[in-house]
């Protein structure tokens, strides 16, 4: 009754002309546009100021060149792009980028699919094995690079002794000098396996088991079931996984730069490293931006395809009139299917041969029944899957073992190569030296400050924007949603040059404010997307009941919706903190003072020329990885509790 009285009082409070204008605005801008403004304005300002404008500015910069005499920028149009075609360094960098990307994603897909299939089957301690397989994902990029640098080292590394003992090589190999590209590809595969396993395993769990049982009854073997049931059912997941992986792998910078610097002789110089060398080291912003934006058409095509795929509902019925995009995807799917059929045909032959061999080794009894019981066959299958999983486990876990044992070795033991795979004796010398003789504590404090600050800003603004985009009706909501996805997929290699110039003009370069302001540009979009999905699952009637009782929209959001979204809030906080803690490119480009460096950049300063203090570096790597691992372990319990509570309330 009070609400109705309040509504009746509106015409008496405002003139009819004002009410008419207000209704026209509501019709044009949407009924909730006034409420939506404070929710979405902060994220729109940040995205426009730190993504859209720098992006436009970078396009303009890529069409200029620096006059060394007048020290001014001169407009040259497309000349910088035309010169790239005659630049041998650029052609080699592009070739390296495609080689690195294609080989990496093919290997990651094959290995990730194999591991996902094994983990989706009946295995003892399956949850523990799955958790171990996901460990490389939470390891910071700098820790990954330093660890593999140590493993690959021709004198002090752990790879050569293993291969020499098993007889694969006769003498030590300088892996990063003799085989630089395969070596960095192997590290990228190690780092990227968890991403493939996580997404593909989620897709496998969603497949109806009855399809496999029916195919098995019809006589289909494992390879045939995989070709005709698993792959078609995973089509959507595979497309999204491959596109996301291609975009991130294509724009890799930190991992390669930390391991090889683009060498030797440009053998691993990818286009992102070349853009950095031209723009930041040589201060030729125009040619550097041209290098970065030369790959933009390909990236935007992939981003467009991925955005269309991710915005489609996989379970939606197929319309009678397909769009051009749907026909293109269908053609790609048919070609991909034919290619996969060709690839898996030898595997099918091998499976048939193995089946025949097993039939000869263990022929059926006189009654035609298998000699092994169902339980025995199941046990043999589990044993076979564990044997297949062991090599992958060793590949994933050996770097962690190497970090641990090296950090507890004394410097003389490391230098003398005594007891390579075990500390003798165990010592904390490296940790004492790291904490008291280096600025490690300062770098740790800087990283914590930047990560916590940028995470807090990103999560708060993402929650506000996600609520408005999922609950409120206003003009531009769909456009903002799409642009957020595009912004999340936009690689840092396209933004670090214009952001460097923008921060320099603002006087923020070489300060923690530069990182705290720029980190949300890649943290907020993903967080917003996740929160939007969760807000849509919360019944809107709960908020309406609160507003009928007199609560404002903001109060209903704060007291009703946000507590129910605690699991999603914790998830995006965890994601944002992990990415801020591990970020390398922006921290490397924007911070020059040693006292302001974060851990991913500061750990490089432990190296003096060609002298690598491996013990200190492994100790630092372990201490840097521990906070992220601890946060995940701590958050897991609350995630489960929050999800359970949320489901009960829903």
Residue extents of the structural domains in the chain: 29-70+428-650, 85-313+389-402, 325-359
- Work out the pLDDT band at 359, boundaries 50, 70, 90: low
Task: Determine which helix (DSSP H) or strand (DSSP E) holds 67, and give its type and residue range.
Answer: strand 64-67
Residues sharing a CB contact under 8 Å with residue 521, sequence separation 6 or more, in sequence order: 46, 47, 50, 51, 487, 495
Given a cut of 80, whether residue 293 has pLDDT beyond it is: yes
- Work out the pLDDT band at 560, boundaries 50, 70, 90: confident
1: which 2 tokens? 């009754």
- Residue 635's pLDDT is 63
Residues sharing a CB contact under 8 Å with residue 80, sequence separation 6 or more, in sequence order: 62, 63, 64, 65, 286, 287, 289, 290
Beta strand 72-75 with 64-67: parallel, antiparallel or unpaired? antiparallel
Q: How far apart are CA 603 and CA 601, in angstroms?
A: 6
Task: Determine which helix (DSSP H) or strand (DSSP E) holds 64, and give its type and residue range.
Answer: strand 64-67
- Work out the pLDDT band at 643, boundaries 50, 70, 90: very low
Range ranked top by mean pLDDT from 185-189, 372-376, 473-477, 537-541:
185-189
- CA angle, residues 446, 451, 454, in degrees to nearest 5: 120
| Cis preceding linkage at 174, omega within 30 | no
pLDDT, tens only, 109-160: 989 988 988 888 888 888 788 878 878 887 888 889 989 999 999 988 889 9
Q: How far apart are CA 606 and CA 608, in angstroms?
A: 6
What percent of the chain is modeled with pLDDT above 70?
80
- Residue 50's pLDDT is 84
Positive or negative torsion for Cα 421, 422, 428, 433: negative
If one counts every other C-beta atom within 10 angstroms of the C-beta of residue 626, the result is 10
Q: What stretches of 261-373 show up as alpha helix (H) in DSSP?
A: 271-276, 285-294, 296-311, 324-361
639 or 31, higher pLDDT? 31
Given a cut of 80, whether residue 375 has pLDDT beyond it is: no
Location of structure tokens 């214009």: 498
Q: Which fold has domain 85-313+389-402?
A: MetI-like fold (1.10.3720)
- Residue 47's pLDDT is 86
CA end-to-end span of the chain: 29
Q: How far apart are CA 502 and CA 81, in angstroms?
A: 23
612: which 2 tokens? 């690598």
153: which 2 tokens? 């080292």
- CA angle, residues 426, 431, 432, in degrees to nearest 5: 105
Given a cut of 90, whether residue 441 has pLDDT beyond it is: yes
Backbone φ, ψ for residue 66 (5° rounding): -90, 125
Q: What is the mean pLDDT of the chain?
A: 81
- Residue 435's pLDDT is 92
511: which 2 tokens? 């300060």
- Residue 451's pLDDT is 94
Residue pair 235/477 in contact (Cβ under 8 Å)? The answer is no
- Work out the pLDDT band at 439, boundaries 50, 70, 90: very high
Q: How far apart are CA 23 and CA 17, in angstroms?
A: 10
Query: Per this entry, what is the length of the chain?
Result: 650
Residue pair 36/468 in contact (Cβ under 8 Å)? The answer is yes
Average pLDDT over residues 557-579: 83
Given a cut of 70, whether residue 354 has pLDDT beyond it is: no
Location of structure tokens 């460097």: 500
pTM value? 0.80
Q: Which long-range contacts link 346-354 to residues 24+ away (Cβ below 8 Å)?
A: 347/223, 348/221, 348/223, 348/224, 348/227, 351/221, 351/222, 351/223, 352/221
Average pLDDT over residues 502-523: 91
The b-or-e profile of 234-257 (16+ CB within 10 A means b, else e) is beebbbbbbbbbbbbbbbbbbbbb
Location of structure tokens 């110089």: 269
- Residue 647's pLDDT is 35
Q: How far apart are CA 603 and CA 592, in angstroms?
A: 14
Q: What's the Cα-to-Cα distance from 460 to each of 24, 31, 457, 466, 473, rounded to whole Å?
A: 32, 24, 5, 10, 21
- Residue 361's pLDDT is 63
Half-sphere CA count of 519, side-chain side, radius 13 A: 29
Average pLDDT over residues 415-428: 85
The mean-pLDDT minimum among 296-310, 345-359, 428-442 falls in 345-359
pLDDT, tens only, 458-482: 999 999 998 888 888 888 777 787 7
330 or 299, higher pLDDT? 299
618 or 415, higher pLDDT? 618
266 or 50, higher pLDDT? 266
Reduce the DSSP state of residue 169 to 3 states and report it.
Answer: coil
Range ranked top by mean pLDDT from 103-117, 210-224, 335-349, 534-548:
103-117
Q: Which long-range contacts link 419-424 to residues 24+ away (Cβ below 8 Å)?
A: 420/158, 420/161, 421/158, 421/161
- Residue 103's pLDDT is 95
Reduce the DSSP state of residue 141 to 3 states and report it.
Answer: helix
Question: Same CATH fold, 85-313+389-402 and 29-70+428-650?
Answer: yes
The mean-pLDDT minimum among 231-245, 362-376, 470-484, 498-512 falls in 362-376
Q: What's the Cα-to-Cα distance from 488 to each of 42, 295, 420, 484, 527, rounded to whole Å?
A: 17, 17, 43, 6, 10
If one counts every other C-beta atom within 10 angstroms of the C-beta of residue 425, the result is 9
Q: Which of 271, 251, 273 is nearest to 261 (CA)?
A: 273
Positive or negative torsion for Cα 395, 400, 405, 406: positive
Q: How far apart are CA 441 and CA 623, in angstroms?
A: 11
Q: Which of 130, 131, 185, 179 is nearest to 154 (CA)?
A: 179
100 or 15, higher pLDDT? 100
- Residue 230's pLDDT is 82
Q: How far apart are CA 476 and CA 455, in angstroms?
A: 26
Q: Which of 501, 490, 582, 571 is nearest to 533 (CA)?
A: 571
- Residue 13's pLDDT is 47
109 or 324, higher pLDDT? 109
Q: How far apart are CA 253 and CA 273, in angstroms?
A: 6
33 or 252, higher pLDDT? 252
pLDDT, tens only, 187-197: 999 999 988 98
Q: Which fold has domain 29-70+428-650?
A: MetI-like fold (1.10.3720)
Identify the burial level of 461 via C-beta atoms within 10 angstroms of its C-beta, where 0-12 means exposed, 13-18 middle and 19 or more buried: buried
Task: Determine which helix (DSSP H) or strand (DSSP E) holds 195, and give its type and residue range.
Answer: helix 180-205
Half-sphere CA count of 352, side-chain side, radius 13 A: 9
457: which 2 tokens? 């800003």
- Residue 9's pLDDT is 44
- CA angle, residues 382, 388, 391, in degrees to nearest 5: 135
The b-or-e profile of 558-597 (16+ CB within 10 A means b, else e) is eebbbebbbbbbbbbbbbbbbbbbbbbbbbbbbbeeeebb
pLDDT, tens only, 27-78: 666 677 788 888 888 888 988 888 888 888 888 888 988 776 667 778 888 9
């Amino acid at each position: 009754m009070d609400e109705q009285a309040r509504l009746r009082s509106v015409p008496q409070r405002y003139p009819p002309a004002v009410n008419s204008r207000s209704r026209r605005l509501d019709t044009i801008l949407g009924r909730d546009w006034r409420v939506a403004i404070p929710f979405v304005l902060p994220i729109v300002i940040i995205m426009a100021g730190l993504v859209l404008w720098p992006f436009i500015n970078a396009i303009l910069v890529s069409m200029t060149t620096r006059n060394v005499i007048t020290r001014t920028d001169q407009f040259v149009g497309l000349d910088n792009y035309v010169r790239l075609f005659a630049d041998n360094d650029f052609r080699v960098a592009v070739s390296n980028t495609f080689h690195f990307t294609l080989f990496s994603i093919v290997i990651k897909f094959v290995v990730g699919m194999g591991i996902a299939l094994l983990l989706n089957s009946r295995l003892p301690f399956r949850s523990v094995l799955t958790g171990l397989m996901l460990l490389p994902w939470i390891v910071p990029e700098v820790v990954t690079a330093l660890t593999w640098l140590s493993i690959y080292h021709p004198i002090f590394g752990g790879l050569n002794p293993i291969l020499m003992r098993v007889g694969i090589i006769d003498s030590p190999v300088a892996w990063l000098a003799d085989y630089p590209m395969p070596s960095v590809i192997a590290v990228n595969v190690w780092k990227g396996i968890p991403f493939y396993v996580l997404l593909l395993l989620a897709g496998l769990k969603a497949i109806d088991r009855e399809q496999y049982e029916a195919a098995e009854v019809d006589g289909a073997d494992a390879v045939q079931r995989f070709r005709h049931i698993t792959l078609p059912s995973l089509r959507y997941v595979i497309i999204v996984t491959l596109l996301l992986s291609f975009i991130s792998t294509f724009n890799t910078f930190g991992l390669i730069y930390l391991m090889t610097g683009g060498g030797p002789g440009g053998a691993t110089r990818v286009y992102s490293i070349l853009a950095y060398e031209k723009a930041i080291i040589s201060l030729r912003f125009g040619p550097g931006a041209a290098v970065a934006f030369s790959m933009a058409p390909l990236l935007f095509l992939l981003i467009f395809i991925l955005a269309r795929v991710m915005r489609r509902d996989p379970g939606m019925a197929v319309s009678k009139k397909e769009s051009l995009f749907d026909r293109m995807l269908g053609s790609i799917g048919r070609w991909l299917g034919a290619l996969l059929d060709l690839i898996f045909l030898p595997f099918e032959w091998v499976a048939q041969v193995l089946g025949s061999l097993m039939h000869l080794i263990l022929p059926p009894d006189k009654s035609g029944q298998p000699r092994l019981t169902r339980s025995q066959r199941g046990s043999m299958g589990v044993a076979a899957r564990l044997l297949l999983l062991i090599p992958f486990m060793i590949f994933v876990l050996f770097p962690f073992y190497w970090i641990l044992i090296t950090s507890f070795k004394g410097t003389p033991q490391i230098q003398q190569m005594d007891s390579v795979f075990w500390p003798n004796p165990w010592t904390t010398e490296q940790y004492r030296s790291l904490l008291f003789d280096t600025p490690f504590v300062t770098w740790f404090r800087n990283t914590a400050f930047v990560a916590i600050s940028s995470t807090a800003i990103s999560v708060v603004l993402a929650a506000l924007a996600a609520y408005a985009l999922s609950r409120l009706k206003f003009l531009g909501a769909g456009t903002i949603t799409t642009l957020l996805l595009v912004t999340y997929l936009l690689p840092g290699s396209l933004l670090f040059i214009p952001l460097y110039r923008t921060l320099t003009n603002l006087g923020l370069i070489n300060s923690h404010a530069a990182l705290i302001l720029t980190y949300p540009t890649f943290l907020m979009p993903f967080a917003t997307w996740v929160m939007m999905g969760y807000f849509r699952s919360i019944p809107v009637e709960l908020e309406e009941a609160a507003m009928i009782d007199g609560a404002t929209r903001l109060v209903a959001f704060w007291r009703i919706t946000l507590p129910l979204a605690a699991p999603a809030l914790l998830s995006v906080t965890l994601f944002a903190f992990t990415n801020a803690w591990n970020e390398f490119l922006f921290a490397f480009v924007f911070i020059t003072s040693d006292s302001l460096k974060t851990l991913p950049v500061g750990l490089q300063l432990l190296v003096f020329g060609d002298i690598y203090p491996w013990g200190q570096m492994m100790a630092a790597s372990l201490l840097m990885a521990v906070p992220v691992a601890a946060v995940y372990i701590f958050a897991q319990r609350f995630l489960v509790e929050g999800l359970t509570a949320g489901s009960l309330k829903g």
